[in-house]
Amino acid sequence: MILPVVERAYRFLHDRVFLRMPEARAVRVGQLLLRAVPVAALRGFVVDDPRLAVTLAGVRLPNPVILASMYYDPRILRRAMALGFGAVTTKSITVTPRPGHPEPSLARLSTPEGPGFVNCNGFKNPGLDAFRAGLHALPHRRPLIVSVAGESPEEYQRLVEGLEAQADLVEINISSPNTRLVYELSAAPERVRGLLGLVRRATRKPVIVKLSPDYPEANHRAIVPAILETGIDGVNFGNTRRVADPRLSQGAGGVSGPSLFPGVLAEIRDLRRILGPRLGLVATGGIDAPDRALAALEAGADAVGYFTAFITRGPTLPRRIGEAILETLERRRLGSVADLRAGAPEGPAA
């Protein structure tokens, strides 16, 4: 009963308040409101059903919906966990604090597929030591995926070692288009192999690598083979796509939102075939509705991640996706989310 009311209230807030503010102010106000919501008030959003559980790179998630990398504030991460995401990813953390690129660093994007953003955030984050200190206050109600971004292989190693205790999974970001330090790695796959070997030896926690949609050739020729050879546990496809945008302080940024989705879906099919059935695979990019989440799971993803839809579609989406999955499992007489994958055995005929 309460969910349709929350949905309508959020639609009003988004369309009548946030959309009328400049982007930077809308982000500040939105985060302020999110921090103010009592955690207990969010419990009604959770859909709890053992059939929704999935295994991602050896880690059990209570459902396959992941909040993608964007937030570092533990108060927000905690509320995302309470909202019913199956796992929550941190902002990409760097060794030293970074103020991010100057504003404007976020602009709205209207596409035929739906609303998105273009951003040049530039890894605004408090740095390894301060972030780690703050994380002690975060109860892990849901698995935490710690995302890291370095300027050298040794920095990635230091970040992975430094955050290992708090991470259920580690995500290696080699794909954000907003700083040269990370993005150029995707164009230099020979450096990625060494980096992945170092990271693999630095932790016993499962490691997934987040790929860029801008480097399909390098991904397939060199990075995915390096992932397989170094014993990395999974792949997240993917990050934002770089475009020129004169509205941003850097004159360019990364596109997020539903225009990414067709490319993500095609790539998930390819990656599942190349990676085999066991490696973890997350589909991220433009997932903003239950049917898109279902399509990505059917194409071979173990889980789906999103950030843009957290803003454009509001807090009830994890629940709506969970309910749509359960309805689909019942209709097709399947027992678990993994059975949705194309080629998985069907349940008994009706």
Ligand X SMILES: Cc1cc2nc3c(=O)[nH]c(=O)nc-3n(C[C@H](O)[C@H](O)[C@H](O)COP(=O)(O)O)c2cc1C
Could you list the residues that contact ligand X (CB under 6 A)?
68-70, 91-92, 106, 117, 119, 121, 123, 147, 173, 176, 210, 239-240, 256-257, 260, 284-287, 306-309
176 is catalytic: yes
Could you tell me the CA-to-CA distances from 36 to 29, 79, 135, 215, 317 in Å, in that order? 11, 10, 19, 40, 20
- With respect to ligand X, which residue has the nearer C-beta, 41 or 266? 266
- With respect to ligand X, which residue has the nearer C-beta, 193 or 241? 241
Q: What is the DSSP letter of 90?
A: P
- Structure tokens of 134? 């703050």
- With respect to ligand X, which residue has the nearer C-beta, 317 or 334? 317
Phi and psi angles of residue 147, each rounded to the nearest 5 degrees, phi first: -95, 135
- With respect to ligand X, which residue has the nearer C-beta, 70 or 268? 70
Q: Least distance to ligand X from the beta carbon of 318, Å?
A: 13
Phi and psi angles of residue 178, each rounded to the nearest 5 degrees, phi first: -100, -10
Phi and psi angles of residue 230, each rounded to the nearest 5 degrees, phi first: -90, 0
Q: Least distance to ligand X from the beta carbon of 48, Å?
A: 24
Residues forming a β-bridge with 201: none
Q: What is the DSSP letter of 101?
A: S
User: Count of H helices and E strands in the chain?
Assistant: 13, 14
Of 176, 186, 212, 256, which is the active-site residue?
176
Cα–Cα nearest to 304, from 315, 295, 312: 295
- With respect to ligand X, which residue has the nearer C-beta, 249 or 336? 249
Q: Least distance to ligand X from the beta carbon of 157, Å?
A: 18
Phi and psi angles of residue 171, each rounded to the nearest 5 degrees, phi first: -115, 125
Q: Least distance to ligand X from the beta carbon of 304, Å?
A: 9
Q: Least distance to ligand X from the beta carbon of 200, Å?
A: 19
Alpha-carbon 162 to chain mean position: 21
Structural element, H or E, at residue 169: strand 169-173
Q: Which residues are catalytic?
A: 176
